Amino acid sequence: MKLLLLAVSGGALGAGARHLVNVGFGNWSDGGFPWATLTVNIAGCFLMGVLIETLALRFGGSLELRTFLATGILGGFTTFSAFSMDFAHLTQRGDLALGLVYVAASVFISIAAVFAGLAITRAALA
């Protein structure tokens, strides 16, 4: 229960930060390109790398701290950071082929799932 509360509270902070980025880019951008999402994904991935290495190499981060910061805050900010970290883990342990399968499956199946959800919902509500 403690880890769940840490993830939820961190997630709220990350989601709030993402919202602020969206608002900031909404005031700056014409909406023709998803700059806010791209920025959040890149920043979240960079911060995930910094966080994981810092916790591992300097602080021996506890499960509670990793849950709050990585799963919670960065997970709420962008799940793309978790996806990217999973790919990094697979490749760093020497499973490049499996990592590439993971990337391809994640991207293409996820996009297909969005279109499936759209189509099923349109059909059900028509």
pLDDT tens, residue order, the chain (126 aa): 999 999 999 999 999 999 999 898 877 777 677 788 888 988 988 998 899 888 888 778 889 999 999 999 999 998 788 888 889 989 999 999 999 999 999 999 989 988 998 999 989 987
- Dihedral Cα 64, 68, 72, 78, nearest 10 deg: -110
Q: What are the b/e assignments for 69-101, b being 16+ CB within 10 Å?
A: bbbbbbbbbbebbbbbbebeebbeeeeeeebee
Q: Which amino acid is at 40?
A: V
What is the structure's pLDDT at 38? Answer: 85
What is the structure's pLDDT at 31? Answer: 67
Domain ranges of the chain: 2-78
What is the structure's pLDDT at 112? Answer: 92
